[in-house]
Amino acid sequence: MGNLIRAHFARLWRSPVFWLGTAASAAAGVLLWFPSAAGLAVVPPFCCAAVFSLFFGAEHADGTVRNKLAAGHSRSSIYLATLAAAVAVMGLYLVLSSPGILVTARLYPFGRYTPGQAALAIVTVALASAAVAAVMVCLCMLAHKRAVLALALVFLVLGGVMAASVVEDELLDYAGHWTVEYVPTAPAPGELPIESYGVTDEGPTQERSVYVPARRPPAALSFFVHVLPAAQICQAINPKDFSVTWTMPLCSLAEITLVTALGLALFKRKDIR
């Protein structure tokens, strides 16, 4: 299997689309600071969608898979070598896209990572991205047509990001936040009214900032946070309301295992033309 992995990288170094993805990820790493860090869930998967569809997806059309089988390689080794190369490419794009995120998160005025949270955030983002790569490889190894594969991968990324956005919006209702409370009061004798005073049916009021503590989200919402890699990434890179637990990377590991097992089973039964 090592020879197959080295062959993948030998071809990658000669692939223009790979270097375009590398340049796009590096550019995102320069521009992607904390306020827009949710783009970390978008840039590497989109770059990988382009590379995988045009690179790994071409192996069926070019007869590369058939040649590997004729050379004596097993289907399991072909699939796992492709998965290893894909995870490595995703990891490279991830590193290039995110050099400033933890640094700026440490300086973010509304929340900071502790060392333990920073380590958990890195593990969560890495495994969630690997889970996305595993799903993409499964599609690449089963699809024959590159155009269909490219559309499938793009819609996969778009669908995952949109679903994560919906989940994030729902989670905001349960996160801790500051709100304004109007307290009935009246100016002290001889004190002039100030702008913060208002008048309601109950009389004069004064604004007061009140912190509303975080609430436990519903079980269904927690489930989607754990199974959607993009939602995990968005949670991990938000130190303001850091709510990532070790169950999230464990869920990503389970997804990688299940998707790989399913992809292997289908690839072994696939008719290689």
In order along its 273 residues, the chain shows pLDDT tens digits of 788 888 888 888 988 889 999 999 888 888 766 445 566 778 889 899 988 888 887 777 677 788 888 888 888 999 999 999 999 999 999 888 887 776 666 666 666 778 888 888 889 989 999 999 999 999 988 887 777 888 888 888 888 888 888 887 777 777 666 666 666 555 555 554 544 444 444 555 566 666 667 677 788 888 888 889 988 888 887 766 677 888 999 999 999 999 999 999 998 888 776
pLDDT, position 137: 92
Q: Which amino acid is at 201?
A: D
Closest of 218, 268, 220, 228 to residue 248, by C-alpha: 228
Alpha carbon distance 153, 137 (integer Å): 10
pLDDT of residue 57: 77
What are φ and ψ of residue 242, in 5° steps? -70, 115
Q: CB of 180 within 8 A of CB of 210?
A: yes
| In contact, 66 and 137? CB cutoff 8 Å | no
**Using alpha carbons only, how large is the chain's radius of gyration in Å?**
24
Non-local (6+) Cβ contacts of 263 within 8 A are: 79, 134, 137, 138, 141, 142
Strand-by-strand arrangement of the 203-212 sheet: 177-184, 203-212, 197-200
**pTM score > 0.85 for this model?**
no
Q: Angle 115-142/43-54 helices, nearest 10 degrees?
A: 30
Alpha carbon distance 150, 72 (integer Å) = 29
Number of residues assigned to the chain: 273
Distance of CA 31 to the CA centre of its chain: 18
Answer yes or no: are the C-beta atoms of 65 and 24 closer than 8 Å: no
- End-to-end distance of the chain based on CA atoms, in angstroms? 22
Rounded distance, CA 244 to CA 105, Å?
15
pLDDT score at 194: 46
What element of type H or E holds 139?
A: helix 115-142
